[in-house]
Amino acid sequence: MAKFIKTPVKGMCDQLPADMRLREHVLSMIKTSYSRFGFTQIETPVMEHIENLTSKQGGDNEKLIFKVMKRGADLARAIDAGKGELADSGLRYDLTLPLSRYYANNKEQLPSPFKALQIGPVFRADQPQKGRFRMFTQCDIDILGDNTNLAEIELVAATSDMLSRIFSEVGITDFTIHINDRQILRGAAKNAGFAEEDIASILISLDKYDKIGLDGIRAELTENGYDAEMVDKYLEIYQNLGDMSCAEFCRDIDAECLDPKVITNMDEIISSAKTMVADGVKIVFDPTLVRGMGYYTGPIFEVTIDDYNFSIAGGGRYDKMVGNFCGQDVPATGFSIGFERIITILKDKLENGYKIDSDNVAILIHKDVTLDKKLEIFKEAKELRQAGKTVTIQMMRKNMKQQINMLESEGYTEFKKVYND
C-alpha cells in the first residue's frame, strides 16, 4: 500500500478556517480600497512560458523557478536528444511579468492608461522562513500607459491608504514608504567611474547595505576585483546619510551622469504623496534602496514597519518590459503587496484570531428532536439568513459546553438550543 504524507509540501501551507476568515477579510479590504482609486481586477494564468520566465528580467527569482517538464512525445524527444531544455513552462515567480505579457496581448481592448489590480498565488523555490513561503499570495496594482509621475503618486497614495485601513484594525498607524530611483543608483555608480556593464554587480552589493554596512560593501566590491580608489569614491556619497533629501544626496553627482529632471521628479513624487497619506505614515528618500528585479527603469518603492526585518510591499517603474512582448515600449509602474507578510503581522497582533462579524446565530438540535420540529427550525434559519445573519445548524453534542466554546471562538454570539416540546 502506498504511503501517504499528510503534511503539505515544504514551504506551502494548509489554511485553517480561522486563517481563511482573516485572509478573506484582508482581501476584501484590499479590493475595496484599491477600487476607490479606479483599479480594476484582472487574472493571469499561474503558468508561464519558460522563455518568458528566464528572460533575465526577474533577478535572483529566476534561480527559484518551479519548472514544468514537457509532456509525452516532446519530453521523450528532449531526453533522447540529450541536450536542451526539458521544461517548456514554469510557475510564475511574480505577477509583473505575466501582466506585461497580458497587456501586450490584450492592449487593443484595454483603456489607456490601464489601472490593473491582480491577486493570485506565485511560486518560488526559496528557503522557507517566517513570512517567506514557496507558494504565497501577491496583490499587485499597476498603471500602464502613463509616462508621468502621476502614476507613481497614485500608486503610493493607494497603497498607503490600503495599508492604513488594514493595520488600523490592530493598532498600527506608523509605517515607512522608502523611495529611490534606479537612475540615481546608476548615476552614483557612473559618477565614481564604474562602467555601465558593472553597475548591476555593484548594485547587488549595495542592496546588502542593511545587512553588512558600508564596510561590508567595500570589502565585497574589492574582493570582486574593483579598483579600491573607485570603490572609496563610490561609497563616499553614502556616508552620513541621515534624513536627507534627494537633491542633497545628488549634489555631488555630475549632470553628465544624472539628468537633473530625475531629481525634480523624485521631489515631486514625495511631496505630492505626502499630502495624501495618513498621519503616522512616513515617506522618505532612501538612496540605498535597490530592489533586486532587473526590469526596473525609474522610481522604486518599498514599505517597512518597525520591529519587522522584512518589507511588506515594493515596486517601481518598468518601462521596457511590455516592449519585450510587443516590440513597442509602454510606460508602466506597479506596487506589489506582500500579502503573506501582512497576514503574519496581523496574526502576531490578533491574540484571539480574527472572528466573523458579531450577532451570528448557532442553532443546536438535540438528537431526539422530531422531523416536524426540525422543519420548523430549518424555516426559521432560512428567514434569519434572508435577514442577513450568519446561521449554523449543528447537532447538539454530549459536551455542549466545549461545542459552544468552539463556536464562540469562531465568532458566534447567539445560541438557540432546540429540544422536543
Per DSSP, the residues of 182-241 read HHHHHHHHHHTT--GGGHHHHHHHHTTHHHHHHHHHHHHHHHTT--HHHHHHHHHTTTT-
What pLDDT does residue 58 have? 66
Instruction: Say if residue 57 carries a ligand binding annotation.
Output: no
- What distance in Å separates the CA atoms of residue 198 and residue 185, rounded to the nearest whole number? 12
Query: Which string of DSSP letters, residue by residue, matches 243-283?
Result: S--HHHHHTTS-TTTS-HHHHHHHHHHHHHHHTTSPTTEEE
Instruction: Say if residue 419 carries a ligand binding annotation.
Output: no
Instruction: Say if residue 344 carries a ligand binding annotation.
Output: no
CA atoms within 13 A on the CB side of 361: 19
Instruction: Say if residue 227 carries a ligand binding annotation.
Output: no
User: Splitting the chain (421 residues) into consecutive groups of 10 residues, what average pLDDT does each group show?
Assistant: 87 89 92 95 96 79 88 84 82 93 95 96 86 87 96 96 92 93 94 90 89 91 91 90 88 91 95 92 93 85 88 93 90 93 89 66 93 94 91 93 89 90 76
What pLDDT does residue 129 have? 76
DSSP state of 149: T
State how far the alpha carbon of 190 is from the alpha carbons of 84, 186, 230, 257, in Å.
38, 6, 10, 6
What pLDDT does residue 408 have? 86
Instruction: Say if residue 234 carries a ligand binding annotation.
Output: no
Cis peptide before 113 (omega within 30 of 0): yes
For residue 179, what are the β-bridge partners?
A: 285, 301
Per-residue pLDDT tens digits for 18-35 = 889 899 999 999 999 999
Instruction: Say if residue 226 carries a ligand binding annotation.
Output: no
Instruction: Say if residue 206 carries a ligand binding annotation.
Output: no
The grid coordinates listed for 225 are 576585483
- Alpha helices by DSSP H, listed for 11-54, are 17-35, 50-53
State how far the alpha carbon of 312 is from the alpha carbons of 170, 171, 317, in Å.
16, 17, 18
What pLDDT does residue 352 have? 63
In 23-57, which positions are buried (b, 16+ CB within 10 angstroms) versus exposed (e)? bebbeeebbebbeebebeebebeeebebebbbbeb
Domains of the chain (ranges, CATH numbers):
17-182+261-349 (3.30.930.10), 361-418 (no CATH)
For residue 116, what are the β-bridge partners?
A: 40, 142
Q: What is the pTM of this model?
A: 0.86
